[in-house]
Amino acid sequence: MKFRSSSVLVWGWVCLCVGVPLLSVLALKLFWQPARPPRPAAFSPTPSPPSVAVAQPASDPPDSTPILPRNPVIPTPSPASGIPHSVWLAVPRGAIATQPLKLDAGPLPYESTVGSIMAAPVPDGVKAQALFNLLPQVPEESLANTAEQAAALLRDRDYARIARPWILSPKTHGAVLGALFADLMQRPDAVALPTLVEIAKTPDHPFAPSAHENLTLLVGQDHGVDWPAWDKAVLEKLSTPAPAP
């Protein structure tokens, strides 16, 4: 009887040691469940409709424009290093970039006036006087040409009255002086020699040295700054009859 009670105590102790851990494990499994991530929904792609090839007429070239998907994602290319970028200039407010410049292709005002003078039914002397009067209004780049036109129309008998004041003044524009001096050297001695003496007498005249040199060549001797001697030499030159050809 004593042995039986001791066996019961031993088996009860064994059951207690083994059962308590088993009961703890079962309780954990029953009352504690780890949170699981939601299961993703099944993906069922929508089948794209089959492409149908459409025949085009032989005379029309096929359309080579690529067809992009419904919502295309176009990558932005990154600029290569070392390649200059485009620079956009600021456009003033109200300006139209595509508006062409309006260029006036017609003649300038002075050109219209010159055309009217040349077409007028008047003597050449009147035209020459009108062109000389127009010189203050002529642009600098056209002074020489206008002065040449005026001198070409000027008669020798009108030279002293019209052209002489222009060529003797040191304040006349150099382009006009150059054209008139070249024309003077083509005039007869009766016009050229007295005018050259007056130019040579003016120290601040741009063509005074040239007038002195031409006087020396035409008269045949150099009188320096002895102006009475120059006047006498010019009178003798003009009074001497020209040799017969």
pLDDT digit string, tens, across residues 56-106: 445 444 455 545 445 444 444 444 445 444 444 454 566 555 555 455 555
Q: Computed from CA positions of residues 88, 92, 98, 100, in that sequence, does the dihedral angle turn out positive or negative?
A: negative
- Across the chain, mean pLDDT equals 75
**Full-prediction pTM beyond 0.85?**
no
Q: What is the pLDDT of residue 218?
A: 93
Tell whether the model's pLDDT for residue 54 goes beyond 50: no
Quick one: tokens of 44?
Answer: 């069922």
Going by pLDDT thresholds of 50, 70 and 90, the confidence category of residue 4 is: low
In the chain, pLDDT over 90 holds for what percent of residues?
A: 45
Q: What is the pLDDT of residue 200?
A: 96
CA-CA distance, 226 to 99, in Å (whole number)?
A: 69
Q: What is the pLDDT of residue 74?
A: 44
Q: What is the pLDDT of residue 93?
A: 66
pLDDT digit string, tens, across residues 173-200: 999 999 999 999 999 999 999 999 999 9
> Does residue 147 contact residue 115 with C-beta atoms inside 8 Å?
no
